Chain A
């Protein structure tokens, strides 16, 4: 069964604007990861945040984690056309090596 659920399902913004995507999950987690998928390709790992962390940055990416609300957000600042892709959150439970993926947010950046 799906662990995470992204919101919104689809998002279109103008180039240069910031894009925010949210992820909610159901059970206690060890870590939460965000991945990106371009059409017809495999997923690419973007960033990992552990359950004892609240915020993490990587370049134009900012991820937050609120374990009390079982939610995470991914912020992409100063978006570019090349950011157009689907973005997935994935969670790892304690004692469980497998990653469970959400349903994804399809992001379109309008040049």
Chain B
């Protein structure tokens, strides 16, 4: 039973380019979360999605960032016109549709903006 799969593991983009981060949740999981982590810091919540719906995007910057979780296919976190401050590790997690269900994390995508 594969865990949460994120790709790519490492992504390098020049300032102004677009970054697309993909996340395939664990089988049977319908909830997806995206978190951002800076070096030596904790995880900052970005967005929570269920299939085809954004439930909570209170942690997402208002501009340049968007997320989706289509009926078919992986969840995508999209960052347009990247800036150096976007450099970070982005983690995806998934859970079952159950109260108190723990999160299962992928190994993250490390985005470097040059």
Q: Which residues of A contact B (CB under 8 A)?
A: 2, 30-31, 33, 35, 40-45, 48, 50, 88, 92, 96-104
Contacts and interface: CB of A to CB of B under 8 A. Distances in A.
Contacts of A100: 45
B45 A99 contact: yes
Given A33-B102, A97-B48, 19 more contacts: A31-B100, A42-B4, A42-B91, A42-B108, A43-B43, A44-B105, A45-B102, A45-B103, A48-B102, A50-B100, A88-B42, A96-B56, A97-B31, A99-B33, A101-B35, A101-B45, A103-B42, A104-B41, A104-B42
A98 B45 contact: yes
Query: Interface residues of A: mostly helix, strand, loop or mixed?
Result: strand
B107 interface: yes
Contacts of B58: 98
Interface of B: 4, 31, 33, 35, 41-45, 48, 55-56, 58, 91, 93, 100, 102-108
Query: Interface residues of B: mostly helix, strand, loop or mixed?
Result: strand
Contact of A103 (B41, B45, B102, B104): B41
Please provide the 8 A-B residue pairs with the shortest distance between their CB atoms, ordered closest to farther: A42-B105, A45-B102, A101-B43, A103-B42, A43-B105, A101-B42, A42-B107, A98-B48
